[in-house]
Amino acid sequence: MKTSLKASVLAVAVASGWAMPASAQSAVDPSVLEELNAMRAEMTRMAARIDTLEIELEQAEAKADSASQSAASAVEAASAASQQAAENNGPAIAFKGAPEIKGEGGWSFKPRGRLQYDAGFTSAPSSTGRSDGFGNEARRARLGVSGDMPGGFGYKFEVDFAGNEVTVTDAIISYEAGDTELSVGQMNNFQSLEELTSSLHTTFIERAAFTDAFGFERRVGAAAQFSSDNLLVQAGVFTDNIDDLSNKNWGADARVVINPQLGDSTLHLGASAHYADLENGSSVRYRQRPLVHFTSERFINTGNLGADSEFGLGVEGAVISGPFHAAAEGFWQSVNMPGAMDDPTFFGGYAEVGYFLTAGDTRGYKGGKFDRVKPNSPVGEGGMGSVQVNLRYDYLDLNDANIIGGKQNGYLLSLAWKPTDYTLLLANYGKLEYDDAVFAAALGDTSYSVDSFGIRAQIDF
């Protein structure tokens, strides 16, 4: 292009008369010759300018080549530095509801927390004289931390600020070696699928009636867990909850779960056994609220029973197949009473089915329990989140061996909307039908029903 431009200038100069013979020039008008001479001078200046521009262009191209080489070198150096940092296990930050920091040598740290606020109402026969109507509460307000340490060690610590009290929920130090994990501290015992599933991931506002009625709670102890692809074995020895340590009660719990994959479906089958030895003079009491926690009324209640020990057996089953899931459990709780009294055995259980109305959503499952639902199309990414409807039959029988604590047949419905992985709105309705209720209605009737409705707003990180 540079050569053609210069050639064009020369052509113009030739056409303007640079090559005209002297004899021809003498015949031309002097004014025309003067004009031609001016044009020749201008063409000479243009040719010189073109030479200058060509030199400047070559210099600019050289600088551009040098800059490109420098940029390529910088990118290569940055890539090498990033690779070196990865090879050296340098600090990295991921986001899973909250920042999770992972450092060199196996260190990690993650803040965690949850807030659950419940509101609703209960409606009981007015002739029972029991309080009902609207209720609300901060059901859980937890803050804590968890993470790993070099050598296979881990930790988790959480406190709950709900109910105008500060209570320790989890306080665990763990050690993991291959498929085996050892834990000491305050933790959930291995009592049932429903109890071990986090309150963040349950399908109803409260767990099945038997879990609360039979006193399932976190306790201080030591435990071991073995897990493989389709098998989970858990066992531990425990004392009491960290807020009630007497150091005179002790217990043992064991649980076995198999969870094979059947095509695209997950099957869960489990069983558990539990024993608690109680100090002399101890008593137990089994009772339950009508679905929601913000009421203090219990319509079935054994009252205090003298007890030397407790023994429990549980069975559990579940299946997850695409948007559908089903689960069922049964639990038998026996009390060894002092003296010659008959030892009662109480029973509780539930059966439920659930279905996602939104495409691509399914119930989470991990480590022998239900886990987080992650909407396929969350709010904020062009979707509406996940919507799930659930039905449950919830049974509890506290009558046995001349003890009349009452029976409950509960028919429950829930609608769960998860806009995102870490937010939830959960609406529940329950019709609780009681026999041998501890509060009599008109004319001494102890068979009646209580309606219960609750809604939960939840966030966690």
Average pLDDT over residues 354-367: 98
User: Confidence band (pLDDT; 50, 70, 90) for 368?
Assistant: very high
Whether the per-residue pLDDT at 373 is higher than 90: the answer is yes
pLDDT at 3 over 60: no
pLDDT band at 97 (very low <50, low <70, confident <90, very high): confident
Structurally, how many domains does the chain consist of? 2
Is residue 12 over pLDDT 50? no
* 306, 342: one domain: yes
For the ranges 92-96, 343-347, 369-373, the lowest mean pLDDT is seen at 92-96
257 and 214: one domain?
yes
pTM (2 d.p.): 0.79
Kindly state the average pLDDT of the residues 244-268: 94
| 307 within some domain | yes
> Contact 219/238 with Cβ under 8 angstroms?
yes
**What mean pLDDT comes out for the span 339-360?**
95
- Express each pLDDT in 15-47 by its tens digit: 444 444 444 445 556 776 777 777 777 778 777
Determine, yes or no, domain membership for 79: yes
Same domain, 72 and 133: no
Instruction: Please check the confidence at residue 10 and state whether its pLDDT lies above 60.
Output: no
Average pLDDT of 43-59?
76
With cut-offs at 50, 70 and 90, classify the pLDDT of residue 7: very low
Pair 119, 29 in one domain: no
What would the pLDDT profile of 385-404 be if each residue is shown by its tens digit?
Answer: 999 999 999 999 999 999 99
Same domain for 58 and 119, yes or no, is no
173 within some domain: no
Compute the distance between CA of residue 393 and CA of residue 349 in angstroms, rounded to an integer.
8
Whether 421 is in a domain gets the answer: yes
**Domain shared by 451 and 348, yes or no:** yes
Same domain, yes or no: 219 and 354: yes
Is residue 362 pLDDT above 90, yes or no?
yes
For 25, what's the count of Cα atoms within 13 Å in the CB-facing half-sphere?
Answer: 12
Contact of 387 with 362, CB cutoff 8 Å: no
Highest mean pLDDT pick, 5-14, 15-24, 144-153, 335-344: 144-153
Cα separation, 269 vs 372, in Å, equals 20
> pLDDT category, 13, cuts 50, 70, 90?
very low
- The answer, yes or no, to whether residue 163 has pLDDT greater than 90, is no
**Assigned domain for 180 exists:** no
The answer to whether residue 46 sits within a structural domain is: yes
Are 197 and 57 part of one and the same domain?
no
pLDDT averaged over every residue in the chain? 89
CATH number at residue 412: 2.40.160.10
My answer on whether 262 and 129 are in the same domain is yes
Q: Which has more confidence, 420 or 164? A: 420
Domain holding 272, by residue range, is 114-138+190-460
Both 243 and 385 in one domain: the answer is: yes
Please, is 273 exposed, middle or buried when counting C-beta atoms within 10 Å of its C-beta (0-12, 13-18, 19+)?
A: middle
Q: How confident is the model at residue 55 (pLDDT cuts 50, 70, 90)?
A: confident
Is there a single domain that holds both residue 55 and residue 127? no
Give yes or no: residues 302 and 428 share one domain.
yes
Round to whole Å and give the CA distance between 116 and 200: 9
Say how many residues make up the chain: 461
